[in-house]
Structures are given as C-alpha cells and as structure tokens.
Structure 1
Amino acid sequence: MTDFWQTREGFWNRGGWWKALLVTVAYLAVFLGISQLVGLTLGHLIDDGGPLASATNVLLELVLPIGLGALVIVLFLAAIGWLKPVFGRQPIGGRPWMWIAVAVVAYPIVLRLIGLDYGSFPAGVVLVTLLAGLVIGIAEELVTRGAGVALLRKGGYSERVVAVLSSVLFAMMHLINAIGTGISLTIIVLLVYTFFFGICMYLIMRVTGSIVWAILAHALTDPMTILSTGGVDTAVEGAQNVWLTVASTGNYAVIIFGLVALFLIRGRVNEAGAAAPATTANPATA
C-alpha cells in the first residue's frame, strides 16, 4: 500500500487531469456531506437571515464544514507524501509582469478594509468571517493550486494548460452555489470571475514561489467580499460608499488581467519536478 501511494510509479505520482478532477469532486463530496450533517445535527442553532446574521451562523455554515474539508485535504496530501512539496518552493519561477496579479487582487482587499462599516455587523461576525476566509483559502487552494497543479504538472502539461485546467476546477467548485436554484446569470458571472481569479492565484503562487501567498490572498479576498456584499459568492456588489464602489471594480480587473495573462503564461515542469530547460528564449521562466 505504501508503494501504491508514495513511489514514483504510484497512482498519484503519474498525475493526469482526471486525477485532479477526482480530487476536486471528492473534496466537494466531503464538504457537502459535512454541510448536510451539520444541518441535521446543529441546524436548530442557525438563525434566519443568512450566514452573516450571527457569528454562530458563520461558524456552522462556513467555518465548520469548510474547516473539516481543509483538514481532509491536508491529511490526503500528507498521506501521499505531498504536503512538504506542495508547501515548498515552486519548481518554476515567475516573471516580473506576474506581480500585477498581486496588485489586482490586493487593491479591492485594502479598499474594503477601509470602507466596511464594522459596527453594522452582529457581535463576532467580522472575526469569525475572517476565520472562515482562512479555512476557505486553505481548502480551495490546496485542492486546486496544491493537489490540482501538482497532478497536472506530473501529467506533463505546459504551465498555460496547468493554469487553465486548475482554474477550471476552481470555478467548477463554485457550481455548488447552483444547488437548489439552478444556473442563473449570477452563477454564470460567478463562474467567469472565479476562473480568472484562479488564474491570478496561480500567478501569485508562481511569482512569490509559494502557495502560502496564494492562500493568504484568497483568505483575505473572500471574507472582505462576503462582508461587503452581504453574502457568500455574491457576484453583484451592493456598494455603500466610495471605497466599496471602487473596490467593486476589482471583479472586472481580475477578469481583464486574467484574460491577458492567459496569452503570456509560458513554461513546463518536467517529470523530475524541475523547470524544463528552454530551447530558445528561456520559456521555462516566462
């Protein structure tokens, strides 16, 4: 069994897009199962009015199920011997233009931090929502930019394909928002945004050299968005002041920059886990 999980000839070490999809679907199944269990056992503690109605709501609807999902993906990576490599230095470097992804993601966070009316939330909601953001960042980044990117690279794909497919998986994770409501224009806009946000997270991971920075960027983006819009994965902003109005342009900035970035991403990681040597103008680091 150890050989099956951990050797280079093992199942996971051969990589492939469908294995990345398998990990994503398995995580979603675990998350939905935990959410159902929480609803059945602790649902009587959840107040009406959505996740931001109380700190207890945020804890039970977001922190607990996603936190347990994050624990599952961490244990999975540890079991196959990938925890250290996933958190280690990226095997391929970034280019200076990739720092734009950091700026594009950071400015809405800063503006929302300034513009939020913290006193309008029930006691403890802001702090628990920040905790929710942390577990969301850990879980979703480890599934897509962690396990997903590693499996795609081991499958021999170029970095552009790795970025695209891992971002498709990331967007697919947000399809669960259509459960019970169906596919609407809001869901479609959300999927487009999350795809390009995934591209930005990939670029942040590459240019900083570590998935930790992608986790932190994600962990700050989600709670600030939730608190400023009043909902989870809400695509339409209800801005209340100039700070939040300007921050809402971040959605468009992510999409526009992500679209341009798709044409600029270069490179490939070889089977040994290192950047493949360039044949011309050093595409391994472009």
Structure 2
Amino acid sequence: MTESQTRSSRTGSWDRPATWKAFALVAGYLVFYVAVSQVVGLLAGDRIDDENVVADPGSTFFALVLPIGIGALALLAFTWRVGWLPAVFGRQPVAGRRWMWIAPVLVLAVVVGHAGAVDRDGWTGGEIAVLALLGVCIGVAEELATRGLAVEMLRDAGHGERFVAVVSSLLFALMHLVNLIQGMELRTVLATVGYTFCFGMCMYLAMRVTGTIWTAIVLHGLTDPTTILATGGVDEAVGAQTASGWSTLASVGTFAFMAFALVAVFLVRGRAGERTGSASPA
C-alpha cells in the first residue's frame, strides 16, 4: 500500500480538502478545551484562584496547564489518527525567504526583554516551573491547531500561502475570544485578538523560514511564560509596561513585530506543491 493510500484510509472525511474544515477543527478544539476546563473547575475549583489564576502553582496548574495539556494531547491524538504527523511535523513544503527571518528575531527579542524584566524575588521556583510547563502545553496545543492542522487543511484546499498565513493567523487570534467566557473585559479581549493575529503571522513566518513547525512551538512556548512572569498576568502582552531597561526592549520588540506582521501580509507569496516534491519558491 502506498503512502497516499495509507493516509487516505486513515483520514477518511478529513482527507477530502475543504477550507471550512480548518474553522471546524479550531472550533472543535475550543469546545473541547472549554468543556475540559469546566470539568477541571468542578473537580478542583477550590484549588483555583478566580481573581488571579497564576497566584500559586496549584492554581496555575488546574486553571491553565491541565486543560491546555489535555487539549494538546487530544490534538496530537487526532493528528496521529488521521495520519498527518509526518506532514505537520515534517519539512515545510514551501521554502521561506530571507526577509522572513525578521519575524523570529523580533519575537526572540521580546522573549529576552521579558526574561530580563522578570522580578525574580516576586516568583517562587515552583511558580516558574509550572509556568514553564504551561509554555510547553500552549506551544504544542496552539501551534499544532493553527500552524499545524489548520495550515495543512488550508494548503490541501489549494489556497496560496498569503491566504494560508492570514486565515490561520486569524483563526489563532479568534481562539482568544474564549477569554470572554472566562470573564475578561471586552476591551482587553479585543486588544489581545489584535496582538495574537500579529503574533500568529510571525509564527507562520518563523515556520516558513526555518522549514519546521518546531520553531514556532519553541518560540510560542517561550513567549507566554516570560510574558506572564514579566507582566504578572495572563494575556497582558499588549498592556503598558515600565519604559526602562529590559521592559523597553520587550515593548519596542512587541510593537515592531506587530507592525512587521501587518506589512508581511502583503509580502507573503508561494503555494504548496506536491508533498513528495521539492519545496516551491516563496
């Protein structure tokens, strides 16, 4: 049996290309995540600090790490079940261009800035460890859902890379609307959606230029914990920070990669070729 026949026999309806399936996949993941969060809340609600979910390691674990970790495992299981592990985690079918390196460099500058701005006396070793674990879970879950599966589905549907980049980044941004259910203010959620669209574009570019989704997973996995440690809260990447020292680097880097992401929307080119063929030019 050929590789394509094996893949077709395992994927079933998911192997039939359609743009809407990327939206369905992300929506399904969000429903699953919210359901898991509700169950965890019922079973371990007394361990979660509703006022500040990162107040202590136990609260962070049950409120964030466990639901997102379960979601990541579910996405990995789905990816394996439909036979897309090689496609998602293998070499990108569309080569990147040198200008795309700007995206991961700017994001890494923000990570460094946030890491340098952390008040180490304000966090315990246990809190830092559980936030690091959270980063791993977020990096795998959110990148697999959007830069992995959604990108795979959009490419299979025959779309060019600009469409793939914008739509997968939009899906990533819209995922954060779930924060409304968790009581976050609308203004903060909308700001987060704008930020995450730009961040998603940068993750797409990082994946393209390095040829692997692992770059996006690692960068994303570093971004969230360092942001929380530096700002003291969840989804505070677009909030005001002290304009001095390392915080200045993080702030300038954030606005720089957001601006660059918007410009990059008009620069992305290319179209995925055959999986077995060579990478097409960007």
In the superposition, the TM-score normalised over structure 1's length comes to: 0.90
2:268 partner letter? I
Q: 2:69 aligns with which of 67, 70, 75?
A: 67
Deviation of the 1:85 alpha carbon: 1.6
Give the direction of change, closer, same or farther, for the CA distance of 1:182–1:217 in structure 2 (3 Å limit).
Answer: closer
Q: Distance in 1 between matches of 2:73 and 2:186?
A: 32
Give the direction of change, closer, same or farther, for the CA distance of 1:241–1:48 in structure 2 (3 Å limit).
Answer: farther
- Preserved contact between residue 93 and residue 273 of structure 2 (Cα < 8 Å): no
Deviation of the 1:96 alpha carbon: 0.5
Q: Distance in 2 between matches of 1:115 and 1:269?
A: 40
The answer to whether residue 92 in structure 2 is matched with residue 94 in structure 1 is: no
Deviation of the 1:245 alpha carbon: 3.0
Q: Distance in 1 between matches of 2:97 and 2:245?
A: 34
Q: 1:147 aligns with which of 146, 149, 173?
A: 149
The answer to whether residue 179 in structure 2 is matched with residue 177 in structure 1 is: yes
2:252 partner letter? T
- Preserved contact between residue 18 and residue 154 of structure 2 (Cα < 8 Å): yes
Q: Distance in 1 between matches of 2:52 and 2:204?
A: 31
Q: Distance in 2 between matches of 1:52 and 1:180?
A: 14
Q: Distance in 2 between matches of 1:25 and 1:47?
A: 27
RMSD over aligned Cα atoms: 2.1
Runs of 4 or more consecutive aligned structure 1 residues displaced over 4 Å after TM superposition: 180-183, 271-276
- Preserved contact between residue 54 and residue 123 of structure 1 (Cα < 8 Å): no
Instruction: Look up the match of 1:281.
Output: none
The answer to whether residue 117 in structure 2 is matched with residue 115 in structure 1 is: yes
- Preserved contact between residue 162 and residue 268 of structure 2 (Cα < 8 Å): yes
Identity rate, percent = 47
Instruction: Look up the match of 1:259.
Output: 262
Give the direction of change, closer, same or farther, for the CA distance of 1:143–1:244 in structure 2 (3 Å limit).
Answer: same
1:91 partner letter? P
Q: Distance in 1 between matches of 2:6 and 2:36?
A: 28
Deviation of the 1:183 alpha carbon: 6.3
Deviation of the 1:10 alpha carbon: 3.7
Query: 1:221-243 CA deviation, whole Å, 9 max, x = no partner?
Result: 11111111111112313438521
Q: 2:240 aligns with which of 230, 237, 252?
A: 237
Q: Is there any run of 5+ residues in structure 2 with no aligned partner, and where?
A: none
Give the direction of change, closer, same or farther, for the CA distance of 1:130–1:180 in structure 2 (3 Å limit).
Answer: closer
Deviation of the 1:5 alpha carbon: 7.4
In the superposition, the TM-score normalised over structure 2's length comes to: 0.92
Q: Distance in 1 between matches of 2:95 and 2:222?
A: 24
1:253 partner letter? A
Instruction: Look up the match of 1:279.
Output: none
What is the SS of the residue equivalent to 2:54?
Answer: helix
Q: How many residues align?
A: 277
Q: Distance in 2 between matches of 1:274 and 1:197?
A: 30
User: Equivalences for 1:1-286 in 2 at 5 Å?
Assistant: 6-7=8-9, 10-47=12-49, 49-179=51-181, 181=183, 184-234=186-236, 235-239=238-242, 241-270=244-273, 272=275, 274=277, 284-286=280-282
What is the SS of the residue equivalent to 1:237?
Answer: coil
Q: Distance in 2 between matches of 1:139 and 1:220?
A: 14
Give the direction of change, closer, same or farther, for the CA distance of 1:93–1:76 in structure 2 (3 Å limit).
Answer: same
Query: 1:143-180 CA deviation, whole Å, 9 max, x = no partner?
Result: 00110000000000000000001001100100011225
Query: 1:161-218 CA deviation, whole Å, 9 max, x = no partner?
Result: 0000100110010001122547632222211111111111001111111001110000
Query: 1:99-128 CA deviation, whole Å, 9 max, x = no partner?
Result: 011111100111222221122124411111
Q: Is there any run of 5+ residues in structure 1 with no aligned partner, and where?
A: 277-283
- Preserved contact between residue 113 and residue 248 of structure 2 (Cα < 8 Å): no
- Preserved contact between residue 66 and residue 139 of structure 1 (Cα < 8 Å): yes
Give the direction of change, closer, same or farther, for the CA distance of 1:5–1:275 in structure 2 (3 Å limit).
Answer: closer
